[in-house]
Amino acid sequence: MPNSLEQNYQYRRRVMRVLLLFVVVAGFIFSAVNFYRGLIPLAIMELTYALFSLFLWQIILVTERFQMWITLFLVPFFIILVYAMYVPNSSESIFVWILTVPVISYLLMGRRQGFWLSLFFIFCGVTVYHFRFISGDSAINIADSVNIIASACLMISLAHVHEINREKNEERLLELAGTDKLTGLANRMKLMDAFKLYAEYAQRHGSPLSVVLFDLDFFKNVNDKHGHHVGDVTLRNIARFIEDRIRKTDLLARFGGEEFALLIAGSSDENCFQRVDLIRQQLCDTHFDHEQTPLTMTVSAGISTFGTDGTSLDDLLMKADQRLYLAKDNGRNCVVDANNEQIINLALKKMQI
């Protein structure tokens, strides 16, 4: 879902802004300290990076090239950390910062890119640490190496598990947010997200795309006669009935009340009408039993076509809704599309005369 991607980016933007603020402050402090200690190249790198971070802090919430700036920030950032360990007279404690690489990588780059980025720079950091700081007694060297490698592997593992769980929880929450509680179908939010993908594909490949609006005929009578509980059961039955008769590439959503919206991709106008009308006929011939009470429902439907009737979901829904109410005026239990709209309009006008 596009919405999932956007929410993920918003989450990363906020994390990035906190990190940038920290780097700006720490960069100025460490550059001053290293200028004082005589580590001029390292101090210049830190000062330059602090200024670069300040620039990013100002644009990171609005930039459209977020992923590019993330890469341009993290790779030099980790290189500076490794270089700071390599510089003579640098403190052994600087290795602590290398252990933050997995956390930062996973938070900002995601699970896959974060894994490879953290693995590479952790390897570089551990290698430089051994080159600079491990010498002398072999037993102590082995203990130091095991501690360093184990702590680095633990940080990568924890970051990896955390990111997997975060992705699953985010997907679950977005799925719940896009699902109608009564019928289990997609809701309006998911319909809008799906339409963006369907429309983009239809426009790029010149393939047909139709929007269908179904409305249950005389549904109010079911609630009045049998109660709202039976009405809810009926809505769930109708939802399953229609869903069982559409393709996996189509999307059925509860639009509101007793209305359902259906996105049909890759079917010509004629084929789309035939499929929708077949659903209408089959539903008319089907009895739903509730507590030994047979219920028969019919639907009216309106169909609009991407391109001909508009290119936005609002325009297509409006046109489908107009044809739906034309079907209602025509006696209900029928389907209206662009091909029979004019015929039905003329017939209704003659009846009024």
258 is catalytic: yes
- Strand 259-265 and strand 293-296: pairing? unpaired
Taking CA atoms, 306 is separated from 94, 280, 300, 309, in Å, by 60, 22, 20, 6
Q: Is 196 helix (H, G, I), strand (E, B) or coil?
A: helix
- What's residue 97's pLDDT? 83
- pLDDT tens string 235-275: 999 999 999 999 999 999 999 889 999 999 999 999 999 99
pLDDT at 55: 94
> Residue 31 in contact with residue 53, Cβ under 8 Å?
no
pLDDT at 15: 85
Indicate if the alpha-carbon torsion angle 202, 206, 208, 213 is positive or negative.
Answer: positive
User: What integer pLDDT is reported at residue 210 of this predicted model?
Assistant: 96
Annotated catalytic residue within 46, 64, 258, 259:
258
Q: What is the CA radius of gyration of the chain?
A: 31
Judged by DSSP in three states, 287 sits in strand
Tell me which residues of the chain have a pLDDT lower than 50.
1-5
Domain 188-352: homologous superfamily in CATH: Reverse transcriptase/Diguanylate cyclase domain (3.30.70.270)
**Which run of H or of E encompasses 137?**
none
Cβ 252 vs Cβ 243: under 8 Å: yes
Packing angle between helix 338-352 and helix 269-284, nearest 10 degrees? Answer: 60
8 A C-beta contact, residue 69 and residue 60: yes
State the pTM of this model.
Answer: 0.62
pLDDT of residue 1: 45
Would you list the domain boundaries of the chain? 2-177, 188-352
Query: 181: which 2 tokens?
Result: 């509680």
b/e map 35-54, b = 16+ CB within 10 Å: eeeebeebbebbbebbebbb
Paired tokens of 305: 């076509």
Cβ atoms of residues 66 and 13 within 8 Å: yes
Query: Under 8 Å CB-to-CB from 22, ≥6 apart: which residues?
Result: none
Beta bridge partners of 253: 186, 261
The span from the CA of 129 to the CA of 152, in Å, is: 12
Element spanning 315, H or E: helix 313-329
75: which 2 tokens?
């790779």
